[in-house]
Structure 1
Amino acid sequence: MILHGYWRSTAAYRVRIALALKGVAYEHATHDLRTGAQGAADYRAINPQALVPAIEADGDVLTQSLAILEWLEERYASPALLPVGLTDRAIVRAMAATIACDIHPINNLRVLQVLRGEFGADEAAVNGWIARWIGDGFAALEVLIGRHGRGFAFGDTPTIADCCLVPQVYSAERFAVDLMPYPRLMAAAETARALPAFQAAHPDRQPDAG
């Protein structure tokens, strides 16, 4: 199995967490997003969208982090990253999608580059943009974690919600977003970050970090 990623990509970070939790071995293939390496022809042949992550496994290529997380959950049943109950599974998926579909896409590198290059946004404006959308999503998650969390974002074991939450908190901290309004969310993130699997997946511990 080959994971195509980049050390600071939060989407790739999600997948690394799930792989570590499930104890799945893989090889790293890095694509430096700062230099646009993901747009190279050889990588576009693997992932036509030219984004990370992508996984090569069994002769197939999988893209989009949420789809990869679901595939890992189905292929490697233990430990489960989705709860048993039908409604509970939908809640966890919604929490993960709040991050992966609503917060992250409008704050990722290619969007920020357009804000700077085509709309003339300075760094203060870009940072305000980032904080706005993280804040909207985290405010909703704070309520959901208060309802459903028992140590982790949902329940008392890690789920795909935590796989998405921890990287988004990393991004928020990187951009100095005020996280004081989200004590339940931060408590869940700290619980998850204390686990060895989450620590092993941290960007600073990746072979391409720097």
Structure 2
Amino acid sequence: MPAASASSARSNSALSGSRCHDRLLTFHERLQSGWRMSAPYRVRIGLDIKALAYVTHPVHLVRDGGEQHAAAYAQLNPQQLVPTLRHGAVVVPQSLAILEYLEEAFPYSARLLPAAPSERARVRALAQAIACDVHLLNNLRVMQLLEREWQRDAAQRLHWMQHWMQQGFAALELQLANEPYTASFCHGDTPGLADCVLIPQLYNARRFEVDLAPYPTLQRIEQACLALPAFDAARPEMQIDAVV
């Protein structure tokens, strides 16, 4: 596969001490709020778990009305959302689709999904419960709409975010605490797709003052993940566009 071109960014290598594959992935990421937003964070974790080299291009979601709405980016990704993965001639939007693409395009690297179909379904269901049922209701577009169209103030928007995260986390805690496949990570003793999605959502929860005490299983899995170099390298504060 050909290497992707890059205009301005840094190279990232994934797991500390691991071999990086000789494919260059260009990962289009948003900036300001972007560097700490969930969807690109998920993909960074997946890239780092699989020890794939890539280049980050920040896309600022607020500046000048949002750089994701610029004509050049809209041509690359008509959804005008981030992240977008560009790998040679292949362009993939949507974080979960990107993670699935990485899993299929690079099967020789660390796996994000287990082998058995039933177990793969479980992992996908966990990931989708977070990405589609929790994060979907708390993303930047929703918050902007609540403020612009319905004049919800900051306290009301915070309550909205906390409500949906608490509801989603309660269901995840119950599932993960009681299913035998849960171990050090969401599924087994190696991190995978569900962990890639869980960790950014917990990061958001802390950012928006969600009490995580009722979710000890989620916190235990988070601690196991954050102890790994791949997760550390993907942290928002470690990114080229971070504002700390």
Give the TM-score taking structure 2 as reference length.
0.84
Partner secondary structure for residue 209 of structure 2: coil
- Shift, 1:83, TM fit: 1.1
Partner in structure 2 of residue 57 of structure 1 = 87
Partner in structure 2 of residue 24 of structure 1 = 52
Aligned length: 210
CA distance in 2, matches of 1:207, 1:42: 21
- Structure 1 residues 79-94: aligned runs within 5 Å: 79-94=110-125
1:38 aligns with 2:68: yes
* CA contact 1:153–1:189 (8 Å) conserved in 2: no
Partner in structure 1 of residue 174 of structure 2 = 143
Partner in structure 2 of residue 103 of structure 1 = 134
The residue type paired with residue 201 of structure 1 is A
Partner in structure 2 of residue 171 of structure 1 = 204
Partner secondary structure for residue 43 of structure 1: helix
The residue type paired with residue 21 of structure 1 is I
CA distance in 1, matches of 2:174, 2:113: 20
Partner in structure 1 of residue 192 of structure 2 = 159
CA distance in 1, matches of 2:58, 2:91: 16
- Shift, 1:189, TM fit: 1.1
Partner secondary structure for residue 118 of structure 1: helix
CA distance in 1, matches of 2:73, 2:209: 32
CA-to-aligned-CA distance 1:81-133 (integer Å, 9 cap, x gap): 11121111100000000011111111000110010111111111111100111
List alignment gaps of at least 5 residues for structure 1.
none
Give the structure with the higher percent helix.
1
RMSD of aligned alpha carbons: 0.9
- Shift, 1:206, TM fit: 0.2
Aligned counterpart in structure 2 of residue 11 of structure 1, from 21, 28, 39? 39
CA distance in 2, matches of 1:45, 1:202: 29
Partner in structure 2 of residue 203 of structure 1 = 236
1:184 aligns with 2:211: no
Give the structure with the higher percent strand.
2
- Shift, 1:29, TM fit: 0.9
* CA contact 1:149–1:188 (8 Å) conserved in 2: no
CA distance in 1, matches of 2:213, 2:165: 13
The residue type paired with residue 124 of structure 2 is R
Q: Which has the larger radius of gyration?
A: 2
CA distance in 2, matches of 1:144, 1:64: 26
The residue type paired with residue 185 of structure 1 is L
Partner in structure 2 of residue 113 of structure 1 = 144
- Shift, 1:33, TM fit: 1.1
CA distance in 2, matches of 1:113, 1:197: 32
CA distance in 1, matches of 2:120, 2:174: 17
List alignment gaps of at least 5 residues for structure 2.
1-24
The residue type paired with residue 178 of structure 1 is D
- Shift, 1:34, TM fit: 2.4
Give the TM-score taking structure 1 as reference length.
0.98
| % identical equivalent positions | 49
CA-to-aligned-CA distance 1:143-195 (integer Å, 9 cap, x gap): 22111311111111101000000000000010011111100011101111110
1:72 aligns with 2:102: yes
**Structure 1 segments (4+ residues) deviating >4 Å:** none
* CA contact 1:142–1:184 (8 Å) conserved in 2: yes
